[in-house]
A = this chain, B = another copy of it.
């Protein structure tokens, strides 16, 4: 069932059917009725590939993420998708699995599918790949990396502020031995968070033993393993800040496995505020990073560039905010 068939049934030309379907030009009331009836009867729906081929616009945005298994991303995907659908766009999701080298495959897929724009929500991006996209005039938006430019926007996260809030909170509870479990340090985003932590500590004039800085992998098991190691220390931290909530939950698991309790023995703070965090026993104190805001900004940037011809990219900073729950408590005397 294609447009020609519909046209035949309605006794009009394919052009007219196209006009009715897309509302691109006025059509006589009677004609429109005929066409709509024919569409209805035949169960016709347009072939998007043919449409894309004809117009050069796919009405698809690419969304590149690090790891669909990290709940942060499904929440982001859902928001992005909702907004996209409201604007008649589809979303093509691609995963890098935290492996920067997989980016190339992702970009190629985007190119092959002729996406109208790409939101790159991983912090690693090879300039050469950026060039492949921008060279073809495809709008892009980055999370926390990359510089603004022609059709290139950037969403910044104020890690520093979030981590400062967390450290303030912990020190106000009399914590002095504060540890940090980072993401994989070969990722820029993980390094940025770690630097922010060190900076914040320095500002508070707290010193930090290298034993208290551990590398995780942004997943449960990384946090778990890092904490198990840290618990073997002769002098343990009284509080741990994690690079994301998954890591924090892994840390809580390790504390529990060691027969200790959160927050009585050790306080834990996460980063992201994924849905599960507020339901953990105990609910996790964490730095909230709004997926909705990121998704909205990302979409708006792309849409502005691809539909309203805004060629100049922009920067937008999304705020973060400490959410105090029950995984943090005063240090025990």
Which residues of A line the B interface, CB within 8 A? 43, 45-50, 52-53, 58, 68-69, 71, 73-75, 77-78, 81, 90, 93, 95, 108-109, 111-114, 132, 219-221, 224, 249-250, 252-253, 255-257, 262, 275-276, 278-283
**Cβ 8 A contact of A68, one of B46, B52, B77, B283:** B77
Copies in the complex: 2
B275 touches A256 (CB 8 A): no
- Nearest to A85 among chain B residues (CB) is B105
Minimal beta-carbon separation of A153 from chain B (angstroms): 24
Looking at the assembled complex, report how far the CB atom of A248 sits from the nearest CB atom of chain B, in whole angstroms.
10
Q: Are B256 and A48 in contact (CB under 8 A)?
A: no
A255 CB contacts on chain B under 8 angstroms: 281
A53 to chain B: which residues have CB within 8 Å?
47, 49-50, 53
Residues of B within 8 A of A81 (CB): 95
Least CB separation from A281: chain B residue = B256
In the A-B complex, the 8 residue pairs with the smallest Cβ-Cβ separation, listed nearest first, are: A256-B281, A253-B279, A49-B49, A220-B279, A49-B52, A68-B74, A48-B112, A49-B53
**Known A43-B132, A47-B53, A49-B50; 9 more pairs at CB < 8 Å:** A45-B111, A68-B74, A78-B95, A81-B95, A220-B278, A250-B279, A252-B279, A253-B278, A276-B276
Residue with the greatest number of chain B CB neighbours at <10 A, chosen from A93, A280, A281: A281
Compute how far the CA of A114 lies from the CA of B253 in the bound complex, rounded to whole angstroms.
45
